Structure formats: structure tokens, C-alpha cells
Chains A and B, each alone.
Chain A
């Protein structure tokens, strides 16, 4: 006995099986990312006032990635519609564009955005030593303006051996503009465009430092949630790309020749997943890049 309703809809529910399945799966995915986003909210509410970082991510690059994902969501719908109209050639091209969009998105994340962070360094100054590094932090200036104090000096670490070598007693940091010129009113708000570190060097004694690390997940609650959520999101993008590639390869062509509706259904299901992945990014982008 064959399992019914694999391709055609069951009359009383109006759905074929995989469509029910994917919606249920997406419901579960909502809860998965919901758990992570609520963790983000929890951690952010718990953080000291003013301690949550802003402006660390590259907004134009993030915006470009957002546009790429949205474009791919459009092309995957076009691919599905082409199949419905039995235009296989158009399907093939739209699907290729979708796959390329996914690959570009991942490449931007993995080759450009993440490594740039891994290469960045930040040292949190102990509460009672903040005064000592006033020239990098500019907290008097911030207090006058009623803004929350800064506790971190960040930039490129010159003496990388300081991370592991106990005999090195200080960090030498080529400072970010915010620490190089802390009283400049332009630094009161995060930059919209990415500004690279300056060549002004700050020397910070290790014993004055509460905690210091590269911009890795363990750097702070902010980067922990950023890397975990974008990492999991990236894994979903990768999953989508793999499924699309499978449907685009000759396997898909064969299925199309046998039963075009079946291939259209598969593209529809994979497309629904893709829209969900897109939607998650629509939450990730403002939460981490803009807010």
C-alpha cells in the first residue's frame, strides 16, 4: 500500500503531507530561535546600564547581506512559480541565483565579518582603576552629558603574546577611534560606518584589567549571543543551500521529468524553510547590528 497524499492534497485538509510537516517543523524552529532570542533579552536586561556594546558590527555589510537574503527569497518563489508553469529553464536559473545568494551570504559572514571580529581585542578595566585610564575612556565627559560610563579599551592587540604569556605584564593596543579620541562628541554615539582602529597605542597593565579577550564568543554576553545565534542561523543557511543544490542538480531534473508537480512541491517546502531562515535574519539584523 502506498502512502497517500504525498503529492496531491487530501481533500478535507487541503494539504499534502510534506506541507503539514514543514509547517510543524517551522513551528518548532520558531521555538528554538525563540529560546535563543529570549536568552538575548534576558542577558541584555541583566547587563549593567551602558555596558551592552553598540556599533561593533559593520552595518553596511550587514545591510548588504540582508538585501542578498531577501533577494534570494524572491528568486526561490520565482523558481517555484516557474515550475508551476512548467518552465524548467527559468526554474534552473532562478534556483542557481538563489543558491549563489546563499553562498555569498555565508562567505561574507565566514570570510569577512567573523574573522574581522576574531582579530579585534578588548580589555575591561577594573572598576577602581577607571580613573587611571581616563584619557582613553573619557568618562568625565560622558558623565557631564549624562551618558553611561565606558569600561573597555578596544582595538588591535599589538603584543599578541600577552594573551598567553604570564611574563608579559601589559597589553599594547592600537586603539579604536572611540578610545583614541574619547572626548570627541562624535564618539558619543556608535558609528554607522565601520571605522578601523587608529595607530595610537594604549598601554594597559594586566593587573588593572578585569577581563580581556579577543572578540570571540567568550569576550562578552553580547558576542556570546551574537556568535551563537548567527552561527546557528548560518548553519540553517547552509542547510538550505545544500537542499537547493540537491534539487537543482540532475536529481531534480529527473524528478521533473517523472513528476513535475512533485518537484514543485519539494521546492515549495524548501522555499518555506528558506523564508523562515530569512525571517530569522530579519530579527538578527536589527538586534545585533542596529540596537
Chain B
């Protein structure tokens, strides 16, 4: 590829004659302008990252509470049980014993918080905001103020979701999917307040979160289209940027139908309409006074139209992070860059036409099922291409096992397990048995928890030096990594067994009351497996402490490093650490692809994208082209 194929840039050409050049110096901004309502993409990225990590740990804590109830159903939670009961109000944990309603709230909010307030803000918004403009050589996002508004909408959405724990009746209880008609009639007791109740606040919170993601997605796509540096052609974009590009499209197009569904459910709850309420519904022995004529299946379609692309929103940024780290630490070009890019695009496209495989049990009919089974089978192809390319990239590399690489390598088999165990669920017939069991829980958690979350950790350790100028401790990183890896597997592997035994995912008593739960696998019954799982979950909670300490300690005290501590090739490592407002001292020029490691004829084993072509490079590229290597 030729460097001259880029654009002719003259960024100051549109300077107006009467000028506001005085606005260039941003040094004397007060604290709140610089860190609270900043328009700088890096600050917004860090805001998203820290809020997201807090929500991630909060969502995980909800699950740690539920794990007590599952392992020791009906028993009072020692030490903190009473305090939590007081905090969350009378209906939550009287005498430290969890009520079924509170258990349902925890389950629904665990899912909601982990996905929409934890993973998406970190993997997409935080990393995307911080890294994408740097990697494409842009001074900022195209619309900095909209970027700020995006974070603020996210923040309000998060606050609304948290508030819902403290209204009468507690937070939403309808599962993270909020299936109707249950979700519409939830909390509608005699003391029903149309606004201050868990489910309504869940819906209101969602409107803010969807607005936030819309503003973010528009910004990301426009930035990648418009602000690539000179010479940064599409096929020279780091794979991470491609992954974020596709993710942004998924958010842009898949979220609005859910927003329409949320508006309709809000109408159902507040204005008494019947969008999702069928005729003739009887609750507690009384016919509901509603017009009826709605369709519960409509909610499921609209929800999963977002819900399935959302899965790829969760995983694609993770894949992007892992790609960067693998290329960097194997010291060789990423294998099959073009295949990766096209696989990501195909994945994004196909993710829009597989949603109904979440709905096999609704009786959609065999024709619809056949269509969605076929598309679901097809979508596994690009996923396998991406994972295979990562594995092949490892082949023959002299791998540096630093902490980011440990997490990135662990991502591969974990995501592999998650992906492969999804195949039985893709088939109508097998899913009839496995639907809504712990098997499903294990399957998607393998993708998101040791998959995406490990990729997120890898990314944090990897880009931390860029954000702070300091490196996180390798030793404490390993203390974080190994227990997390082991616990993840102790938590989720037995769930496959539980699911195949037939244990339902929403049981409040952990399956204790189910007669068939007595069947033993490896010496423990389905119910008894809950205990080791729960212990592993709490241990994993403890294993995050080294990370939290390492994170904050390293901001001030970590080992100081230069601008490119990992000897990486992409543009973000040419900027100072931390990059100033505007990122680059001079607009960078790009001369080559993103993963030019171990280029023959070069002294260093990495050649940055901004390094001009030399005669020896040209020979090396010609030799590679002659040998059929891309």
C-alpha cells in the first residue's frame, strides 16, 4: 500500500479570519472543567472506565449475595446479613434471610448492571474513547461535547438504576430481559406508585443508557470515518479500531428498537396501555381491567433484536483488545489481518438476523425456527475465523508472558469454551432440554466473564502506562490473574453439569426442593455443587483486591516508563504518556500497517506505523509479496 493514498490534510484551513485562536491554551482549566465535565476523549474514557469498574464490582457483589442463598438456602447470612437487611429495607433480608422478591431483584439487576453499566461502558466506551482517537492519530473525537453528554446520560442512567433499589418494593424483579406481561404487572400492588417503583425506574434508566450509547456510537463512527491521520487507510487501522467500528454500528442500529420497546412498556405501566398485554389476562384470580389485544411475543422480538447484537457488542471490543496484545507480545504480525476485518464485519451483519434463537420455546413455528437455526450456525463461522487467527498468531512467536498477555492468552480457551458450548443451544431440539438451565448461564458467562472481562483486564494492564505514564505491578498482576482464572473455572464449569442435570436458572432455593437434584455427578448432587461454586465466587471477589490496590497504588507510585513501554507499533504509543489535550505534538503521518513486528532488515523488532519507509523496508515488503505473504 502506498502512503500517498491518504488525504491531503490542512487542518487549519477552516480557521475563520476573526479567529478564536486564544482558546488553544487549556492549562489553567479548573478541576471540575478538567475532570468532571471535560470534553477531552481521554478524560471521558477514564470516567467511563472507573464508573464502569465500580458498577462491575457492584454487579458482582449482587451475585455474591445470591450465591449465599443458592448454597445455603433460607439460612441467615452471617456478619453482614442484618446490615444489608437494614440498608435495602424491610422486604429484602429480614434477619439476614433473603426474601424471594429480593433474590429476583438481585438477579435482574446483576444482569442489567453487568451488561449495560459494566461491560459495555468499559469495553466499548472507556477503551474506545481513550484508545481509538489515539490509534487513528486524531486530536479528539469529532463531537467532544456530544461525547461529554454521552457520559452524563450514562451516569444519570446508572444513578436511576441504583436508586431503584431503595424505592418501595425494591429494584426491578422481571429478570434482565423484563419479559412481559410479568414485568408490566410487577409491583402493581395497592401501594403502587406509577413512577417510584423498580420496574418503571428500570425503564427510565434504560432510556438514559440508550441515549448515551446512541451519542457514543455516532461519535465513534464519525471519528473513525473523518479523523484518521494522513496515510491511515482503512486497511491500516489496528484491528481494535475495526472492532470498535463494528460495535458502534451494532449499538447504533440495534438499541433503538429496544428503546421503542422500552417506551411501549413504559406506556403499559404508566398510561395503562396494552402493547404487551394479551386479552383475558387474570392476575391473582381477578381479570385485569385493561383493553388487552397486545402481544407478549412482541416484547421478546424487540428485546432480542437488541439482545443478540448486544452479545457481539460485549465480545467484539474484547477481541480487539486481545488482538493488539497478542500481536505486541508475540512480536510478529497478527495472522490473517484481512480475514479478521472481514470476519468482524460479517459477524456484525449476521448478528442482526439471529435474535430469535433466544425464543425457541415460544412456538414461533418450524419455518421461522429453521431460518434462525441456519443463520445461527452461519454466525459461528466468523467467530471461529477470529479465534483461529488469534491462535495461529501465537504459533512460532517468542511470546512475552507479561500480565496483559496472560489475560489475553487466557481469553482464547475461555472464549472457545463459551462459543463451542453455544452450539447445542443453537439447535431447536437440544435447546428444548437446555433452555433456561444453568447450562445457558455457564455458556454465556464463559463468553462474557472469563472472556470479555479478562480482555478488559488485559486492556487495563496494557494501556495503563499510556494513561498514567506508569506501569502496574507485574507481581500483583499475577496475584490477580491466577486466582481469577482458577475461580472462574470452578464457578462456571460445574454449571454445565448442573444444567445438564436439569437445574433451572431462576430457582430461589438453588434446586434444594427439586427431587431430581439428588442425582450425583462426581460425588456431589446438583444442589451440592452450589457450595464449591459459591466459595469460588467469594474467593474471586477477594482476588480482585490485589487489582484494586495495584490500580490505585500504581497511579501514584508505579514504575515510571517511557512513551512506548511495550515496544508496540500503533500510533497511540507515539504520543506522550499521558497524552496532553489534543494528543499529538504534530499530526502523525502513517506509512504502514499496524503490526509491523520483526520486519526484516530493521534493527528493532518493531516498526511503528509513523516511521517512514526505508529502502530495506521496501525490499522486505517486496520479498514478502513474492512469497505470497500479506
Q: Are B222 and A17 in contact (CB under 8 A)?
A: yes
B259: A residues at CB distance < 8 A: 32, 35
A42 to B301, CA, bound (A): 10
A16: B residues at CB distance < 8 A: 226
Q: Does A13 contact B (CB under 8 A)?
A: yes
A28-B253, A219-B291, A221-B274 given; A39·B264 CB < 8 A: yes
Q: Does B29 contact A (CB under 8 A)?
A: no
Q: Mark A1-21, 1 if CB is under 8 A from B, else 0.
A: 111111110111101111011
Q: Does B8 contact A (CB under 8 A)?
A: yes
Besides A8-B14, A31-B254, A35-B261, 17 other CB < 8 A contacts? Answer: A5-B14, A5-B226, A8-B13, A15-B226, A17-B142, A28-B217, A31-B253, A31-B256, A32-B257, A35-B256, A35-B258, A39-B275, A42-B298, A211-B292, A220-B293, A221-B273, A228-B275
Q: Are A39 and B226 in contact (CB under 8 A)?
A: no
Q: Does B18 contact A (CB under 8 A)?
A: yes
| CB-nearest residue of chain A to B5 | A12
A218-B290, A228-B273 given; A43·B584 CB < 8 A: no
A11 to B13, CA, bound (A): 12
Question: What is the size category of the interface that chain B forms with chain A?
Answer: 35 or more
Q: Does A258 contact B (CB under 8 A)?
A: yes
| CB-nearest residue of chain B to A222 | B293
25 A-B residue contacts at CB 8 Å?
A1-B582, A2-B139, A3-B227, A7-B14, A12-B7, A15-B225, A17-B222, A20-B222, A20-B226, A21-B218, A24-B222, A28-B218, A28-B253, A32-B260, A35-B259, A38-B302, A39-B298, A39-B302, A42-B298, A211-B291, A217-B267, A217-B272, A221-B275, A228-B273, A262-B16
Q: Are A1 and B584 in contact (CB under 8 A)?
A: yes
Q: Does A27 contact B (CB under 8 A)?
A: yes
B9: A residues at CB distance < 8 A: 4
A28-B214, A36-B260, A39-B298 given; A216·B271 CB < 8 A: yes
Q: Are B257 and A35 in contact (CB under 8 A)?
A: yes
A220: B residues at CB distance < 8 A: 291, 293
Q: Are B295 and A2 in contact (CB under 8 A)?
A: no
Q: Mark B283-325, 1 if CB is under 8 A from A, else 0.
A: 0000001111111011001100100000000000000000000
A43: B residues at CB distance < 8 A: 275, 293-295, 298
Q: Mark A204-226, 1 if CB is under 8 A from B, else 0.
A: 00000001010011111100110
A21-B222, A39-B264, A39-B275 given; A27·B252 CB < 8 A: yes
A residues 21-59 touching B (CB-CB < 8 Å)? 21, 24-25, 27-29, 31-36, 38-39, 42-43, 46-47, 51
B293: A residues at CB distance < 8 A: 43, 46-47, 51, 220-221
Expressed in whole angstroms, the minimum distance between the Cβ of B41 and any Cβ of chain A is 10
A residues 244-281 touching B (CB-CB < 8 Å)? 258-259, 262
Q: Does A232 contact B (CB under 8 A)?
A: yes
B217: A residues at CB distance < 8 A: 24, 28
Q: Are A2 and B275 in contact (CB under 8 A)?
A: no
| CB-nearest residue of chain A to B248 | A24
Expressed in whole angstroms, the minimum distance between the Cβ of B100 and any Cβ of chain A is 31
Give me the 6 closest cross-chain CB pairs, A-B, nearest first: A35-B260, A35-B257, A1-B582, A32-B256, A218-B272, A224-B273
A124: B residues at CB distance < 8 A: 291
Interface of B is mostly: loop
| CB-nearest residue of chain B to A213 | B291
A21 to B226, CA, bound (A): 10
Q: Are A29 and B260 in contact (CB under 8 A)?
A: no
Q: Are B8 and A11 in contact (CB under 8 A)?
A: yes
Expressed in whole angstroms, the minimum distance between the Cβ of A70 and any Cβ of chain B is 25
A262 to B16, CA, bound (A): 10
A185 to B409, CA, bound (A): 77
Number of A-B contacts (CB under 8 A): 168
Q: Mark B229-249, 1 if CB is under 8 A from A, else 0.
A: 000000000000000000000
Q: Does B143 contact A (CB under 8 A)?
A: yes
Expressed in whole angstroms, the minimum distance between the Cβ of A215 and any Cβ of chain B is 11
Expressed in whole angstroms, the minimum distance between the Cβ of B485 and any Cβ of chain A is 38
Q: Which of A21, A218, A227 contacts B143 (CB 8 A)?
A: A21
| CB-nearest residue of chain B to A229 | B260
Q: Does B78 contact A (CB under 8 A)?
A: no
Q: Does B135 contact A (CB under 8 A)?
A: no
Q: Does B350 contact A (CB under 8 A)?
A: no
A38 to B263, CA, bound (A): 14
Q: Does B27 contact A (CB under 8 A)?
A: no
Expressed in whole angstroms, the minimum distance between the Cβ of B364 and any Cβ of chain A is 13
Expressed in whole angstroms, the minimum distance between the Cβ of A71 and any Cβ of chain B is 29
A166 to B19, CA, bound (A): 72
Q: Are B291 and A3 in contact (CB under 8 A)?
A: no
Q: Which of A4, A18, A42, A217 contacts B11 (CB 8 A)?
A: A4
Expressed in whole angstroms, the minimum distance between the Cβ of B569 and any Cβ of chain A is 23
Expressed in whole angstroms, the minimum distance between the Cβ of B561 and any Cβ of chain A is 25
Q: Are B273 and A217 in contact (CB under 8 A)?
A: yes
A1: B residues at CB distance < 8 A: 11, 139-140, 582-584, 587
A227 to B274, CA, bound (A): 13
B214: A residues at CB distance < 8 A: 25, 28
B6: A residues at CB distance < 8 A: 12
Expressed in whole angstroms, the minimum distance between the Cβ of B288 and any Cβ of chain A is 10
A228 to B276, CA, bound (A): 14
Q: Does B12 contact A (CB under 8 A)?
A: yes
A216 to B259, CA, bound (A): 22
Expressed in whole angstroms, the minimum distance between the Cβ of A240 and any Cβ of chain B is 17
Expressed in whole angstroms, the minimum distance between the Cβ of B129 and any Cβ of chain A is 15
Q: Are B267 and A3 in contact (CB under 8 A)?
A: no
B354: A residues at CB distance < 8 A: none
Expressed in whole angstroms, the minimum distance between the Cβ of B278 and any Cβ of chain A is 9
Q: Does B33 contact A (CB under 8 A)?
A: no
Q: Which of B7, B227, B271 contacts A11 (CB 8 A)?
A: B7
A38 to B275, CA, bound (A): 12
Q: Are A24 and B227 in contact (CB under 8 A)?
A: no
Q: Which of B142, B260, B272, B298 contacts A3 (CB 8 A)?
A: B142
| CB-nearest residue of chain B to A48 | B293
Q: Does B171 contact A (CB under 8 A)?
A: no
A227 to B222, CA, bound (A): 34
A11: B residues at CB distance < 8 A: 7-8
| CB-nearest residue of chain B to A25 | B218
Q: Are A258 and B140 in contact (CB under 8 A)?
A: no
A24: B residues at CB distance < 8 A: 217-218, 221-222, 252
Q: Are A218 and B291 in contact (CB under 8 A)?
A: yes
A24 to B214, CA, bound (A): 9
A35: B residues at CB distance < 8 A: 256-261, 302, 305
